[in-house]
Amino acid sequence: MTATGKEGRHVEETTARESAIKAIDEALTEADLEVERPREGSFLVTIPGEAKLKTLVWLEAGPHSLTLTSFFCRRPDENHAGFYQWLTRLGTDMYGMAFTSDEVGDVYIRGRLPLAGITPEEVDRLLGCVLTYSDENFNTALELGFASAIRKEWKWRTERGHDTRNLRAFAHLAETADEG
């Protein structure tokens, strides 16, 4: 006998959610990532990167969908139009998610997918995509939205003999400032 009506939909939703939670658990265990579980169906995952040293990803298995949210960077200091236009263009090739901003302009990577398609392989794919989009685009985002601050920081550090190792990816910005 199959359930019908409201009860049937509730059973299907509960089963899909439980299945998605199990798939997320399995994928995270396999990937050996740092994970916090503040409540049932919620996962805060830390993914190590290169350009962006840590990418934090919230996975929330709700009654109907899996929501993925990852902070990308704060609101840019400058070049707002160019910065957000660049993000919009990036979104055309993204899988299952997009760049979005909140009311103050801080930027996130966000996705919402149906629970029915959530498998361990799909969770792995989604986390890999978040890492790729975050890590590969982070330095460009900083160049587009924070170039003046990077130049100031470079100048301050070099004048005082401080280490510029974590700014090396932006040495060309300091060089253009010296030439100008």
Length of the chain: 180
Other beta carbons less than 10 A from residue 167's beta carbon:
18
CB 141 within 8 A of CB 78: no
pLDDT value of position 2: 45
Taken in order of first residue, the domains within the chain and their CATH numbers are: 5-148 (3.30.1460.10)
pLDDT value of position 179: 52
Amino acid at residue number 16: A
pLDDT value of position 65: 96
Give the residues of the chain that fall short of pLDDT 50: 1-3, 180
pLDDT value of position 128: 97
HSE (CB half, 13 Å, CA atoms) of 178? 9
Within 8 A by CB and 6+ apart from 25, the residues are none
Structure tokens at 3: 């359930």
Report the C-alpha dihedral over residues 156, 142, 128, 106, rounded to 10 degrees. 110
Q: Is the dihedral of CA 81, 170, 58, 91 positive or negative?
A: positive
CB 43 within 8 A of CB 58: yes
**How far apart are the C-alpha atoms of 97 and 91, rounded to whole Å?**
8
User: pTM score, two decimals?
Assistant: 0.85
Other beta carbons less than 10 A from residue 162's beta carbon:
11
pLDDT value of position 145: 97
